Amino acid sequence: SETVERHEFGAEVGRLLDLVVHALYSDREIFLRELVANAADAMDRRRFEALTSAASALPPDAKVRIRPDKEARTLTVSDAGIGMAKEDLAQNLGTIARSGTRAFSQTLESAKAEDRPSLIGQFGVGFYSAFMVADRVTVTSRRAGADEAWTWASDGQGSYTLEPAERAEAGTDIVLHLKEDADEYLEPYRLDHLVRKWADFITVPIAIVQDGKDEAANQGTALWRKRKSEITPEQYEEFYRSVGMNFDKPWATLHWRAEGQLEFSALLFVPGMKPFQALENDRHSKVRLHVRRMFITDEAELLPPWLRFVQGVVDTEDLPLNVSREMLQSTPALARIRRAVTGRVLSELTSRAKDADDYTTFWENFGPVLKEGIYEDHERRAEIAPLLRFRSSAVEGWTGLADYVARMKDGQEAIYYLVADDAEALKASPQLEGFRARGLEVLLLSDHVDAFWPESLSRFEEKPLRSITQGGLDLSAFAAEGETAEAPEGIDALVAAIKAALGADVSDVRTTDRLVDSAVVLSAGSGPDLQMQRLLRRAGR
Ligand code: ADP
């Protein structure tokens, strides 16, 4: 008909479809997890929008319904969620917004087979997994608050169509026309088994429709509300996997209940691996906020950005169910919860830091993120500083500031550090020579954030932190190996000649006791540390 519009997929989508369908074939059952998670998400988003817009209110029996139809050979996943307008359908299902195909395919290739399924969730390409079991998918959707509906349809071969449709209520139906070898997904017991396996933690009700009747498929257990003694390690791990689409084991599991002035339950995890999506891309904490079990939002920023690697759930009694976006920002109850939760995570890190090997796992995954707290959060600075670990010119492995201070030489006033782009550059730096010769330890910093935080910390156990590239460091109190007391003959004339040759490019040329083998070294004078100057230059300042 004339109302059908045909669109080509973005080039990325075509390749991605191919990848998903082939790389994940042996795990293709995960399509159902992805579609149900999207449906539950859409319902959560609608409930949240309804707080400020009555037109979005959820009907009382709102559910995710999974309906197999053996005669038509279709499987339909329906929700009463937020729905998609025409342009949402084109945008969300026709392009890849968030992450490129290349990053995804590289990660997919290097991942172990058993890790692959969780990757598609992490990369936000879950919807396309429908094409693993279907040779045609239609999506009929009506946006909450709108009165028109649209159908998106595709066989996953390069293009899709959009046409006007009918739908009585807001929400979305995803109809999979199953491939010949995908019969198993028409069997209610098989669907039921799959949903139980991983959707039990979804608090939106999910039903499998059989002979026109709904059969509840998930329990909606709020695991975090149970007592620790009632929960097995396997249940914790399974919940961890479902909450962040993880497949590793958590490095730390924190489960506690606060009672008294503040009432909340929290179940938080520190992952055992770095996520594939770089933590630099999104600095917001995604810890989920529930109010009396009901999911409210994952945008409440329950933890500061420098703890954004922590995942999990906080469920409180102290907020009304109809908490609005403005309230999330201003309510004192939430500010108190944030403070309590942040303190709890820090105390867990502090106690785990006592076991150096164990803590190294954490530090190598998330240390650079934690360091951001030093310059972002002056209230917590003193608690974070003892948790920092460094490479050092004097010892192998990782070391902390307290250990450095314990090793300081008599008469040494400051904690010395050197920042450079990478560890190799650090080891070869002529800046270190004079310090090595005098047995003075220097901390070697090579993370991106290292250019910023040392100035904010400024002191640890009363000792100032000093970048060794800054001028004005006097090492004359420490005897260096093989040092001659006398200045070499003719040195003054040489300095004068160099000064004349460099002219206005430098502010001064001086002799130094900071070098042993190298002839010259650049010094930052009294301005910012050299690495900081490099960053500022790159930023065009
Ligand atoms: P992700 O869910 O990780 O973003 P998907 O490919 O699974 O990636 O889905 C892409 C987008 O399509 C979602 O972010 C959402 O905006 C939209 N979407 C998918 N399914 C639904 C649904 N049932 N209701 C409303 N929006 C949906």
Rounded Cα gap, residues 229 and 274, in angstroms = 29
Residue 98: which pLDDT band, with cuts at 50, 70 and 90?
Answer: very low
pLDDT at 99 over 60: no
Tens of pLDDT, residues 356-410: 999 999 999 999 999 999 999 999 999 999 999 999 999 989 999 999 999 999 9
- Which of 28-42, 75-89, 207-221, 417-431 is predicted with the least confidence, judged by mean pLDDT? 417-431
pTM value > 0.90: no
**First vs last Cα of the chain: how many Å apart?**
59
Assembly ipTM: 0.98
41 alpha carbon – ligand 1 mean position (Å): 8
Average pLDDT, integer, range 36-53: 89
Distance CA 446, CA 390 (A): 9
Annotated binding site: 34, 38, 79, 84, 92, 99-100, 122-127, 172, 325
Ligand 1 mean position to 93 CA, how many Å? Answer: 8
Share of the chain above pLDDT 90, in %: 48
Q: Which atom of ligand 1 is nearest to the CA of 123?
A: 3
Note whether 42 and 130 are within 8 A (CB). no
Q: Which region among 77-91, 470-484, 487-501 has the lowest average model confidence (pLDDT)?
A: 470-484
* Minimal-distance CA residue to ligand 1 atom 8: 124
Q: If you measure from the C-alpha of residue 127 to the centroid of ligand 1, how many angstroms do you get, rounded to a whole number?
A: 7
* Closest residue CA from atom 23 of ligand 1: 39
**Which of 38, 93, 175 maximizes ligand 1 atoms within 8 Å of its Cβ, making it the mutation to test the pocket?**
38
- Residue 527's pLDDT band, with cuts at 50, 70 and 90, is low
Tell whether ligand 1 has an atom less than 6 A from the beta carbon of residue 92.
yes
How many angstroms separate the alpha carbon of residue 178 from the centre of ligand 1? 20
Average pLDDT (350-360) is: 97
pLDDT, the chain, mean: 86
Helical packing angle, 188-199 and 233-244, nearest 10°: 100
Cβ 42 under 6 angstroms from ligand 1: yes
Q: Is the pLDDT confidence value at 437 over 50?
A: yes
Asked whether 235 and 223 are in contact (CB, 8 A), the reply is yes
Binding residues for ATP, as ranges, are: 34, 38, 79, 84, 92, 99-100, 122-127, 172, 325
**Entry field: residues in the chain:** 541
Question: Helix crossing, 332-352 with 356-376: angle to 10°?
Answer: 140
Interval 473-487 mean pLDDT: 69
| Strand pairing category for 74-79 and 171-178 | antiparallel
Centre of ligand 1 from the C-alpha of residue 122, in Å: 13
Answer yes or no: are the C-beta atoms of 441 and 392 closer than 8 Å.
yes
* Most confident stretch, 91-100, 252-261, 530-539: 252-261
The reply to whether ligand 1 has any atom less than 6 angstroms from the CB of 124 is yes
